[in-house]
Chain A
Amino acid sequence: MHDFNRRNFLKVAGISSAAALTGIGCAANGMRGAEKAHIVVVGGGSGGATTAKYIKQFSPDMRVTLIEPNATYYTCYGSNWVIGGFAGMDDIAQGYDTLRDEYGIEIIEDRVTAVDADARSVRLSGGDRVSYDKLVMSPGIDFRYDDMPGISESDAERIPHAWKAGSQTELLRSQLQDMPNGGVFVMVAPPNPFRCPPGPYERVSLVANYFKQEKPRSKIIILDPKDGFSKQGLFEEGWAEHYGDMIEWRAGSSGGRAEEIDVSNMTVLADSGFERVRADVLNFIPAQRAGQIAHDVGLTNDEGWVPVDQLTFKSEMDDNIYVLGDASVAGAMPKSGHSANNQGKIVAAAIVRQLAGQEPINPSSANTCYSLVTPDYAVSVAAVYQYQDGAMAGVSGAGGVSPSGASTSFRRREAEYTRAWYNGITSDIWG
């Protein structure tokens, strides 16, 4: 617990001792107790919706409530296809009808504003309270605008992040459409750790694909605080093959680190002020932290993420709260939709077993991230994870990236599997 700040520590110490006194009403009653328990899930994204559905699959009689403010969830996966101009927002829209009508999950369309861990209840924006036996939170990310001088959250209307899908995705797409041929698209990539490690590089690939067809004199510059990125060799191979020198990636140690953003001049200052990079379209992807509600409840560490027991994804701070997905610290697992989906199954199993008085299972899970370099050319990274020495660790010898120098048909097949992956995982989560 060394890395929690003092304020949070005190808050949590209070929560834990009170929870210990209250006890867990139905813990030792076996399956009968478990079947009557009420599980409340906060956030209907990749992690939350999976957890809700799989609790119902593993234990159909358990009562599950899912709280999510938006009636439609736009997946970030596939949002780069929209930005690249070959998919529409409808293609990345997901809803909650099946979870409600076929799985019997209660859906509350609202935002959770507070959690009373002592009373085991959450408060909704309208003031109503919902009580729980176990609380699951998968609130995703929020941004650290404070880390970048010159820009604030309100500037996202002009300089989109498009790192939460929805109106931001459409905004970036329309800015690219309005950009003249010969313009410059600048992306400021985020520092680690962040949601979807290959995501920024897939995005520039698909913007390049659009430019190549519609605005071939245009240029793309990635200003990166990092000196390397996910699937780098494969992306660079694909860029050289398809886009020539349209994409320029500047590494952090070679002047790529943005130091300030001059919003009114659409200019990024880098390399100790020696570089001023002007953009026609600017995509600033800020540094990230766990979703705000996790901070409000006092579940985060000094780095802004939620430490959990990676065997079950139970919060280290409160025995009745489980946190998964991008918000959590999950060892070697990347912050991806696939990870969040797999963690949702671990959490569902952990809760059902715990309520039945059974020991946790040593979990095994996997990740697969496909990235399109063109609509017909994809590369992937995969891994298998197991719980080892207190953390989710990659199984050695397994996983890795697509081969370099692979044939056109291999890349094309992976592009077909990219779409298959989308259809499969969204059906596993919301279908």
Chain B
Amino acid sequence: MKKSHLYLVGLAASLAMAGTATQALADDEITRGQLMAASCKACHNAAAADDGVPELNRIPAEVIESQMKAFRDGDRDATIMDRHAKGYTDEEIESMAGYFSRF
């Protein structure tokens, strides 16, 4: 399947979800949360998954949110995610979490 088709499938799946992500997609507008999620894709994608870096589009938004907060607040051990997670507020984490399935 072409990647652009996958993209549309992802888009449809995202549209089916509730919350701000749906709102933004309905307006067909790239949001800040989406741009933040895109930045994570540098490391978190299928090609790195074999090396133990989780592919985030397979993970439910609530899990991404809770784990990012745990990394940030020192409740989960990490090599590097603690340093990244400290860069985001609750709101920012919530705004990006729903977007991974869209890519």
Q: Which residue of A lies closest to B46 (CB)?
A: A427
Majority secondary structure, B binding face = loop
Instruction: Report whether A398 and B87 are in contact in the complex, using a CB–CB cutoff of 8 Å.
Output: yes
Instruction: Report whether B80 and A417 are in contact in the complex, using a CB–CB cutoff of 8 Å.
Output: yes
Instruction: Report whether B47 and A345 are in contact in the complex, using a CB–CB cutoff of 8 Å.
Output: no
Number of residues on chain A facing chain B (CB within 8 A): 52
Quick one: which of A127-141 are within 8 Å of B by CB? none
Q: Is A75 an interface residue (CB 8 A)?
A: no
Instruction: Report whether B45 and A428 are in contact in the complex, using a CB–CB cutoff of 8 Å.
Output: yes
Instruction: Spot the interface stretch: A108-116, A255-263, A353-361.
Output: A353-361
Q: Is A197 an interface residue (CB 8 A)?
A: no
Query: Contacts A361-B32, A402-B79: A102 and B43 contacting too (C-beta < 8 A)?
Result: no
Residues of A within 8 A of B34 (CB): 349
Q: Which of B4, B39, B53 contacts A366 (CB 8 A)?
A: B39
Instruction: Report whether B7 and A57 are in contact in the complex, using a CB–CB cutoff of 8 Å.
Output: yes
Bound-state Cα–Cα, A102 to B7, Å: 11
Instruction: Report whether B39 and A365 are in contact in the complex, using a CB–CB cutoff of 8 Å.
Output: yes
Query: Contacts A384-B88, A420-B53: A60 and B4 contacting too (C-beta < 8 A)?
Result: yes
Residues of B within 8 A of A431 (CB): 47
Residues of A within 8 A of B7 (CB): 57, 60
Q: Is A88 an interface residue (CB 8 A)?
A: no
Q: Which of B3, B30, B43, B80 contacts A424 (CB 8 A)?
A: B43
* Minimum Cβ distance to chain B for residue A331 (Å): 15
Q: Which of A103, A380, A414, A420 contacts B3 (CB 8 A)?
A: A103
Instruction: Report whether B79 and A399 are in contact in the complex, using a CB–CB cutoff of 8 Å.
Output: no
Residues of B within 8 A of A338 (CB): 42
Q: Is A400 an interface residue (CB 8 A)?
A: yes
Instruction: Report whether B51 and A384 are in contact in the complex, using a CB–CB cutoff of 8 Å.
Output: no
Instruction: Report whether B52 and A395 are in contact in the complex, using a CB–CB cutoff of 8 Å.
Output: no
* Minimum Cβ distance to chain A for residue B9 (Å): 13
Quick one: which of B32-65 are within 8 Å of A by CB? 32, 34-36, 38-48, 50-53
Number of residues on chain B facing chain A (CB within 8 A): 37
Quick one: which of A241-267 are within 8 Å of B by CB? none
* Minimum Cβ distance to chain A for residue B79 (Å): 6
Q: Which of B3, B32, B40, B47 contacts A423 (CB 8 A)?
A: B47
Instruction: Report whether A424 and B79 are in contact in the complex, using a CB–CB cutoff of 8 Å.
Output: no
* Minimum Cβ distance to chain A for residue B27 (Å): 9
Q: Is B76 an interface residue (CB 8 A)?
A: no
Residues of B within 8 A of A364 (CB): 32, 35-36, 39, 87-88, 92
Residue with the greatest number of chain B CB neighbours at <10 A, chosen from A341, A364, A413, A416: A364
Q: Which of A103, A361, A416, A425 contacts B4 (CB 8 A)?
A: A103
Q: Is A419 an interface residue (CB 8 A)?
A: yes
Q: Which of A60, A400, A425 contacts B43 (CB 8 A)?
A: A425
Quick one: which of A320-356 are within 8 Å of B by CB? 338, 341-342, 345-346, 349, 352-353, 356
Q: Is A397 an interface residue (CB 8 A)?
A: yes
Residues of A within 8 A of B86 (CB): 384, 395, 397-399
Quick one: which of B86-102 are within 8 Å of A by CB? 86-88, 92
Instruction: Report whether A399 and B47 are in contact in the complex, using a CB–CB cutoff of 8 Å.
Output: no
Q: Which residues of B contact A (CB under 8 A)?
A: 2-4, 7, 28-32, 34-36, 38-48, 50-53, 79-80, 83-88, 92, 103
Q: Which residues of A contact B (CB under 8 A)?
A: 31, 54, 56-58, 60, 102-104, 338, 341-342, 345-346, 349, 352-353, 356, 358, 361-366, 368, 380, 382-384, 386, 395, 397-400, 402, 410, 413-414, 416-417, 419-421, 423-428, 431
A-B contacts, 21 listed (Cβ < 8 Å):
A58-B30, A102-B4, A349-B30, A349-B38, A353-B30, A362-B32, A364-B36, A364-B87, A364-B92, A366-B87, A368-B43, A368-B84, A380-B80, A383-B83, A398-B87, A399-B84, A420-B43, A420-B48, A421-B43, A423-B50, A424-B42
